[in-house]
Structure 1
Amino acid sequence: MPLPSFLEPLDSLHHDNAEYRHATHKISLGTVHSLWWPTRSGNVPDTVILFKPGNPGLVEFYVPFLSVIREKYHSNNLAILAHSHLGHSFALPYSHCGLSSQVQGGIEAVDALHWMLDFSAGKILKARPENIANLHLITPTIRHIADTPNGRSLSWLFHPLPRIVASKLTSIFGTYIPAFLLKVLFWDWPAHQITVLQRLLNSPESVLACLEMSHDEMQSVKEADFEFIASHDNRIRIYFAGKDGWVGKHKEVIMSELKTSSPRTAVAVGPDVPHAFCINHSQQVALRCLQWLADLS
């Protein structure tokens, strides 16, 4: 099956044996790097998953996760669109885009698909509720991100001067970090994820875009919108990490409130799953998402 008409092939990144294709999606604010998994049947899909990543917004980190979902989904007519964040891809020019721009990018992806995500995903569902059948929030931060363990320890880095310095240091030293050193530092990471990390470190513009978005998140992710979740509780599924430095003490508050105000919202906790589940826990999380997807059929 060819790419959808709104995607342009990015063949410079294509691998001959890959089940997905690299592509670009031109939206009103810039160009977004995307990955497209066609249906296994080769037919027009009857279900499309739109995947929006966290931060860093690099969809390549999630190839193993999304590949498991496509492989094990009960129908051969599922397609998947993984949609990066503006400015985060090392394959495209830098874009100065904040959190609201990333939300707009997701909305335009939904509009382009004509079928059927954390803070931004909820905004997309709110804008296009008629086009989205189900929303899975995986290890999300939806309440007071600045008051989480990681938020308190790292928020200084996201201010203008530190993030500019960090991106400049990346431009100086990033290309000199050998792959073997990354393999030593991140000894438990698969080779694919090491490659994605190395490409990120070789792109100071992408590093800057990630830090800029982090600053916006610190300012924007405050109180969770429990009223909104309650109004769509039959369509929202949430998967929390067992221990998450980007959630911290707020997980218990969120789960308690959801139990009362949104009884139809399915909530799962992966005891040994970290926030960055895409590194080594793709299959475990994918199997849970597949169970939720099966409930829709």
Structure 2
Amino acid sequence: MSVYNSSVVDTGNEPHTDFIYCCGAITEVLKYGPCQLHSGHKVLFLIIPGNPGVVGFYTTFIKTLHKMFGYRHPVWAVSHAGHCVPPDSMDMVEDASLAVEGDVFGLNGQVEHKLAFLRKHVPRETSLVLVGHSIGCYIILEMMKRDPDLKVLKAIMLFPTIERMAQSPQGKVMTPMLCHMRYVAYLPVFLLSLLPDSLKSSLIKLVLSGIHYLDPTIVQPTVGLLSGDCAANAMYMGGQEMRKVLERDNTAIEKNLEKLIFYYGASDHWCPVQYYQDIKQDFPHGDIKLCKNGFRHAFVLDAGREVAEMVVEWIRGDMSFLFFF
């Protein structure tokens, strides 16, 4: 297995980035805390991103989680397969036949990709706190269903797109483009990819200038996303989300209800308040929250620290976690 290590420092609150091949596709892993796990590591916080699955978007969120737990537990984020720019020494795909056979860039392939990552890089005895964002929540539910022996302590579902995606207000807008006109959308992405990174950065800042407290750490990962292949892989995955994320998996939720915390946005066009009300009615005893802070679906743009602080408070309030913290 090829690994590219861009870390300088492994300790404290300095990030460490690995580029690896998983299921034959390039994968970026952003790590705070230990870079390798052994049996002495009791708990791993693992972030499963939304789409685009770019781990750099979550830098502030991960850094805050790591700090608030006193740097005691590793906090990692694993990108979606093919949602990162490979370093010069690596390609987007290591094994083309493996990637195609497993449809690794598709939604099902991304679920298997995360399970393969855990098998390869996380000791089986390590307990997991899974944190999903958007489609990452769907992936987590699928992971727990496909591998019920995973030692999941808690699964935090932030702005969960786990049902009726194409019927949501944003889904109605995006479905035609992602499912029927995806190749047309490739042209502007390709043209943007030809621009120098400095100009891409300026354009991104201009487009996002309306966000008053924009997190500056998200600019460079967005530049990488405009490389062309990354955006194409994200759009391909998005098209499958519209077609496959249909009915909520109540069986998986019921089986794991005591481990799940759901957090819905009050003005989220991907999972509207009606979805919150429906799941709240179906699972009245579940830990299902509605945002009162005005956070946007893409909270990483301006509220990564605040959302991380909120997540820590939820977990600290659970008596079963006292042993670990």
TM-score range, shorter chain: 0.7 to 0.9
Partner Cα distance (1:168, 1:292) in 2:
44
Q: Aligned partners of 1:70 and 1:227: how far apart in 2?
A: 32
The CA distance in 1 between the partners of 2:26 and 2:174, in whole Å, is: 29
Q: Deviations over 1:196-222 (max 9, x none)?
A: 212212x11111101110111011111
SS in 2 for 1:26: strand
Q: Which residue of 1 aligns with 2:96?
A: none
Percent identity over the alignment is: 19
- Cα offsets for 1:153-203 (capped at 9, x unmatched): 11111125x2222223212233434433322221122322122212212x1
**Shift in Å, 1:39:** 4.7
Amino acid at match of 2:158: I
Match of 1:99 in 2: 107
Does 1:125 find its partner at 2:144?
yes
Gaps of 5+ in 2: 94-98
2:175 alignment counterpart = 155
Evaluate the alpha carbon distance shift between residue 178 and residue 135 of structure 1 in structure 2; reply closer, same or farther with a 3 A threshold: closer
Matches within 5 A, 1:140-219: 140-159=160-179, 162-176=181-195, 177-187=199-209, 188=211, 189-201=214-226, 203-219=227-243
For residues 17-48 of structure 1, the C-alpha deviation after alignment (integer angstroms, 9 at most, x for no partner) is: 971111023323423111121259x9953210
TM-score, structure 1 normalization = 0.87
Query: Using the alignment, how far apart are the partners of 1:178 and 1:102 within structure 2?
Result: 28
Distance 2:15 2:5 in 1: 11
What's the CA shift for 1:240? 1.3
Residue in 2 aligned with 1:3? none
Match of 1:279 in 2: 301
Letter matched to residue 235 of structure 1? K
Unpaired runs of at least 5, structure 1:
1-5
What letter matches 2:309 in structure 1? L
Q: Is the 1:85–1:102 contact (alpha carbons within 8 Å) kept by the matching residues of 2? A: yes
Is contact 2:170–2:270 with CA below 8 Å preserved after alignment? Answer: yes
Q: Secondary structure at the match of 1:129?
A: coil
What does 1:282-293 correspond to in 2, within 5 Å?
A: 282-293=304-315
| CA distance in 1: counterparts of 2:24 and 2:264, whole angstroms | 32
The whole-number CA distance in structure 1 between the counterparts of 2:292 and 2:74 is: 26
Cα 1:270–1:124 change in 2 (3 A) is farther
Q: 1:226 aligns with which of 219, 238, 250?
A: 250
Q: How far apart, in 1, do the equivalents of 2:263 and 2:117 lie?
A: 23
Q: Does 1:88 align with 2:83?
A: yes
Q: 1:76 to 1:45 in 2, by over 3 A?
A: farther
Q: In structure 1, what is the equivalent of residue 21 of structure 2?
A: 26
Q: Name the Cα RMSD after superposition.
A: 2.5
Q: Distance in 2 between matches of 1:179 and 1:266?
A: 38
Counterpart CA distance in 2 for 1:100 and 1:191 is 32
Q: How many residues align?
A: 283
Contact 1:135 1:236 in 2 (8 A): yes
Gap change, CA 1:107 and 1:178, over 3 Å in 2: closer
Aligned 8 A contact 1:50 1:110 in 2: no
Offset, 1:7 = 8.6
Pair 1:46 & 2:42 matched = yes
1:70 aligned partner, one-letter code: H
CA distance in 2, matches of 1:29, 1:217: 22
